[in-house]
Amino acid sequence: MSTDRPQPERRTLIDIYRRMALIKQNDERFRSIIKSGKLVMPYYSPRGQEVIPSALAVHLNDGDYLCTIYRGIHDMLAKGVPSKLLWAELAGRSTGTCKGKGGPMHVTHPASGVMVTTGIVGSTMPIANGLALAAQIRGEKRVAIAMFGDGASNIGAFHESLNLASVWKLPVVFICQNNRYAEHTPYAACTSIERVSDRGAAYSMPSIHVNGNDPVAMWQAAGEAVSRARNGGGPTLIEAMTFRFHGHIFGDADAYMDPAQKAEAMNQDPVPIFRESLIKQGHASEGELGAIEAEIAQEIDAAVAFALASPYPDVAELRRDVFAQEIEA
Ligand SMILES: Cc1ncc(C[n+]2csc(CCOP(=O)(O)OP(=O)(O)O)c2C)c(N)n1
Ligand SMILES: [Mg+2]
């Protein structure tokens, strides 16, 4: 990595680590509670992909928009959705971000800028364009982030969105989290090009190919793209290389994943590696990071207890929040 590029300050590095640890611990708790049978829900683990949203989010404000997908609890937590509200929503409780009516596939929390979670592959990009266009028209300095997977880069909406964002110089950052698989299909079996980032050239869009498991490189890439968008320079495409540690959905036997490749990726787990490098480079002590982790564990204990003790939404809620004007029963 070149040293003439900006380097994150110590407190930024710690902030990135805190978000990564928050994601890892939340993911571990979600997987263990589903396994225990206490919660039943579809769950798409983002374990292994912690760096991307954590290194991005330190460049963003609550007023910046983020659109994410079913595999998006890492994006939500990094952007600032409180664990408590996230747990309640995933558990379908009335105290959740969407009063339990969105559930795991449709978390929305405008207070932290998370504007949509979608199960429609490729749909974060046109929605982020719309949010970016609104900000541009109103003269607000907001940035919109579209998160999506490598598989989604083969959907028509990806190409349409990149084209329009480039023509209109929208303040948007397209972030492809290339975790090497689309559902059960390996990258090369469904994608004609070696690098998704090369597709940006077709739309005259600045594009970055980055190791999405390297917190400093990801922080630099995200910083460049966010600052371009915020200062009127238009969109950027980032392809962040990462790896999905688990199968597509919880319970998936993942027999289609190359065991050697998976073992190698898990061996390179970005969370403990970053932790160790922070200590080795003298940015943080073992005790300091341990205290952050203990605080997160407590936050999650409280979130789980809060979610499980909360009621399910009332039947009367069925027609509420559907249209701007409530429909009478
Ligand atoms: C429009 C559409 N087509 C197909 C699907 C079925 N589907 C769900 S997830 C998925 C794979 C997407 O892979 P990728 O974009 O790489 O995201 P990842 O799950 O790896 O994060 C597919 C094809 C869908 N949900 N929506
Ligand atoms: Mg993928």
Query: Does ligand 1 lie within 6 Å of residue 48's CB atom?
Result: no
Cα of 265 vs centre of ligand 1, distance in Å, is 21
Closest Cα partner for 261 from 282, 244, 278?
244
Q: How many residues does the chain have?
A: 329
From the CA of 183, give the closest atom in ligand 1: 11
φ, ψ of residue 13 in degrees (nearest 5): -60, -45
Query: Does ligand 1 lie within 6 Å of residue 149's CB atom?
Result: yes
Q: Which residues pair with residue 182 across a beta bridge? A: 185
CA angle 86, 182, 45 (to 5 degrees): 25
The CA distance from 285 to 290, in Å, is 8
Name the residue of 70, 121, 161, 184 whose CB sits within 8 Å of the most ligand 1 atoms, as the mutation to test its pocket. Answer: 121
Contact criterion met (CB below 8 Å) for 236 and 225: yes
Contact criterion met (CB below 8 Å) for 233 and 169: yes
Query: Does ligand 1 lie within 6 Å of residue 182's CB atom?
Result: yes
Q: Tell me the two tokens of residue 48.
A: 């292994």
Q: What is the pLDDT of residue 329?
A: 64
Q: Tell me the two tokens of residue 229.
A: 């968008």
Q: Tell me the two tokens of residue 91.
A: 């558990």
Cα of 123 vs centre of ligand 1, distance in Å, is 10
Query: Does ligand 1 lie within 6 Å of residue 179's CB atom?
Result: yes
> Is the whole model's pTM more than 0.95, yes or no?
yes
Name the residue of 27, 183, 248, 249 whose CB sits within 8 Å of the most ligand 1 atoms, as the mutation to test its pocket. Answer: 183
Ligand showing the shortest atom-to-Cα distance for residue 149: 1
Number of Cβ atoms within 10 Å of the Cβ of 145:
32
Q: How many helices (H) and strands (E) does the chain have?
A: 11, 8
Closest Cα partner for 45 from 215, 210, 266, 237?
266
The CA distance from 56 to 73, in Å, is 15
Cα of 105 vs centre of ligand 1, distance in Å, is 13
Cα of 151 vs centre of ligand 2, distance in Å, is 5
Q: What is the pLDDT of residue 4?
A: 83
Q: Which residues pair with residue 148 across a beta bridge? A: 176
Q: Tell me the two tokens of residue 16.
A: 């990135």
Half-sphere exposure of 179 (CA within 13 A, CB side): 29
Query: Does ligand 1 lie within 6 Å of residue 58's CB atom?
Result: no
Return per-residue pLDDT of the chain as tens, 329 residues.
446 899 999 999 999 999 999 999 999 999 999 999 999 999 999 999 999 999 999 999 999 999 999 999 999 999 999 999 999 999 999 999 999 999 999 999 999 999 999 999 999 999 999 999 999 999 999 999 999 999 999 999 999 999 999 999 999 999 999 999 999 999 999 999 999 999 999 999 999 999 999 999 999 999 999 999 999 999 999 999 999 999 999 999 899 999 999 999 999 999 999 999 999 999 999 999 999 999 999 999 999 999 999 999 999 898 888 888 877 76
Q: What is the pLDDT of residue 2?
A: 47
Q: Tell me the two tokens of residue 44.
A: 């798409």
Q: Where are the alpha helices (DSSP H) in the chain?
A: 10-36, 51-57, 73-79, 83-90, 124-138, 156-167, 187-190, 215-230, 259-267, 270-280, 286-309
Residue 149: partners with Cβ closer than 8 Å, 6 or more residues away: 69, 71, 121, 176, 177, 178, 179, 182
